[in-house]
Amino acid sequence: MPPDRTDANPAALPQPRVIPRAQHNLTRKHISRGALRVLYGLHEHGFRACLVGGAVRDLLLGGRPKDFDVATNATPEEIRKIFRNCRLIGRRFRLAHVIFGPEIVEVATFRGSGAEGEGDRHLVDGRIVRDNVWGTIEEDALRRDFRVNALYYDIADFSIIDYVGGMQDLAQRRLHLIGDPEQRYREDPVRMLRAARLAAKLQFTIDPAAAEPFPRLGHLLGDAAPARLFDETMKLFMGGYGLASFRMLEHCGLLQHLFAGTARALARDEHGALRNLIEAGLAGTDARVAEGKPVTPAFLFAVLLWGEVYALARGMQSEGIDRTLAWQRAAHKVMAEQMARVAIPRRFSYAMEEIWALQPRFAERSRKRVFRLMAHPRFRAAYDFLLLRAAESGELRERGEWWTRAQALEAEQLAAELAQSRTPPPPVSGEPAAPRKRRRRRGGRGRKPPASSTPDAPS
Ligand code: ATP
Ligand code: MG
């Protein structure tokens, strides 16, 4: 192993455990072509080059990582000189992207521990806002979050280098935070979400010392950048382990800091209808991810926040506010609160509001309106949403079945059936009114909604 230059006190640095090639199961066969080219390219130019992080962890566990991270002692400028297909990105955390067609390999220079204010490392209230001090591989290992995420696969001799006891944690399926948990969460509160997500995905237990601060420090997520929380939310719910992640977030008491409205609605959910709706939505998304089908976060966010929108809208209606207006205001309020925490891009937030607003239109049976709804760009998501609701509500079951059947029919057949029966199905309590009902304002304004048979069940 080539020696590393270090100015730090050697006594403070961990003694690595080196696991030679013959004693571990990580083979190059499962490393992407792009990552191998980067590793060899750096090595041939005399730099240290290791695969690191989630890819090493997942490969040792027998999984197939989606992305491969490389750590090196080459600086971003040096990396760029070696690879023409390279882009330097990030200011807060500068790194290189080396691009091979659809594959992007992230290459990061070893980070040092860098004392407060030294070089390009900055903390605000204990939070790391900039981290661009280069260091040695030992220092780089210590600034990573969990021990299992700090294993290095060295392309020089195909060994695994373990500075912090990551191999033992992998064997025991445990997540230990490196260093003092409180300090590490204060530096970066998103690490709490990473703990919950990785525990759910890997079916690992979170070490008690790493879990203990959650109730005290969970609120620090309010200081995290909303755009970053959106990225993390995507990984939590759209990565194929959404249901497990959701349950883990709740178990850790972190859901309230990410989706406050959802946590509040669940606290009121006496009969479990909302929980069933949410869990079915997450399980459905996980199944689609497993089958390689497309998924949209708009659908899932619409599911997560439905209980809160529903309760707010009902409350406003009981105060005499018109149904349509109540639903618009409720949707607006819930979205505003949510977007202040998690920056959901506009295209998704619009889609969520559409999914909600389309719900009452499934009650309509005139030929024109049925075909118009089917042609709506959000029809599929809104119909899937209706089916989730129908599973929780006797009132809606017939409606869900009707639309399932309608889609299976040929267009002419459906048109003929619609021409025969013109009686609309009875209204379902509590849902948003279809926008066009506004025309009948005179009698409808300020009227109280019919009492729901299941007032606690926002399905
Ligand atoms: P996955 O890719 O499965 O979501 P991962 O552990 O690879 O999990 P990445 O976000 O790809 O997650 O990060 C790669 C590595 O960078 C991590 O394994 C860890 O070593 C380090 N890392 C990522 N985020 C942080 C953080 N907030 N604090 C410290 N180290 C981090
Ligand atoms: Mg990764």
Instruction: Take residue 400 and report the two structure tokens written for it.
Output: 């869900």
Phi-psi region of 453 (alpha: psi -120 to 50; beta: other; left: phi over 0): alpha
Catalytic residue list contains 180:
no
Give the whole-angstrom CA distance, residue 366 versus residue 369.
5
**CA of residue 55 to ligand 2 center, whole Å:** 6
Q: What is the rounded average pLDDT for all residues in the chain?
A: 89
pLDDT reported for residue 183: 96
| Integer angstrom CA distances of residue 93 from 68, 127, 181, 195, 288 | 17, 14, 22, 21, 33
- Which ligand places an atom closest to the C-alpha of 194? 1
pLDDT, one tens digit per residue, over 143-189 is 999 999 999 999 999 999 999 999 999 999 999 999 999 999 999 99
pLDDT reported for residue 13: 63
pLDDT reported for residue 237: 98
Catalytic residue list contains 131:
no
| Residue type for position 385 | F
Give the whole-angstrom CA distance, residue 104 versus residue 263.
36
Beta bridge partners of 160: 19, 153
Range list of H helices, 114-213: 137-142, 166-172, 181-187, 190-202, 208-211
**CA of residue 143 to ligand 2 center, whole Å:** 16
The number of CA neighbours under 13 Å toward the Cβ of 195 is: 32
| Residue type for position 370 | V
pLDDT reported for residue 304: 98
Instruction: Take residue 189 and report the two structure tokens written for it.
Output: 């509160």
Give the whole-angstrom CA distance, residue 261 versus residue 105.
37
pLDDT, one tens digit per residue, over 205-249 is 999 999 999 999 999 999 999 999 999 999 999 999 999 999 999
Catalytic residue list contains 223:
no
Nearest CA to ligand 1 atom 25: 145
Q: Give me the catalytic one of 69, 131, 162, 269.
A: 69
Nearest CA to ligand 1 atom 7: 54
Atom index in ligand 1 nearest the CA of residue 201 equals 3
Q: Give me the catalytic one of 58, 131, 140, 145.
A: 145
- Which ligand places an atom closest to the C-alpha of 201? 1
DSSP 81-126: HH-TTEEEE-SSS-EEEEEETTEEEEEEEPBP---TTSTTEEEETT
Q: Which helix (H) or strand (E) holds 340?
A: helix 323-341
Nearest CA to ligand 1 atom 14: 53
**Ligand 1 pocket residues where CB is under 6 Å:** 53-54, 67, 69, 144-145, 149-150, 188, 190-191, 235
Give the whole-angstrom CA distance, residue 187 versus residue 134.
18
**CA of residue 43 to ligand 1 center, whole Å:** 23
**CA of residue 69 to ligand 1 center, whole Å:** 9
Atom index in ligand 1 nearest the CA of residue 53 equals 18
Show the domains of the chain with their CATH numbers. 1-172 (3.30.460.10), 298-420 (1.10.3090.10)
Give the whole-angstrom CA distance, residue 457 versus residue 310.
10
Give the whole-angstrom CA distance, residue 252 versus residue 236.
14
pLDDT reported for residue 459: 58
pLDDT beneath 70, residues of the chain: 1-14, 114-119, 422-430, 432-459
pLDDT reported for residue 409: 94
pLDDT reported for residue 437: 44
pLDDT reported for residue 422: 61
Atom index in ligand 1 nearest the CA of residue 191 equals 27
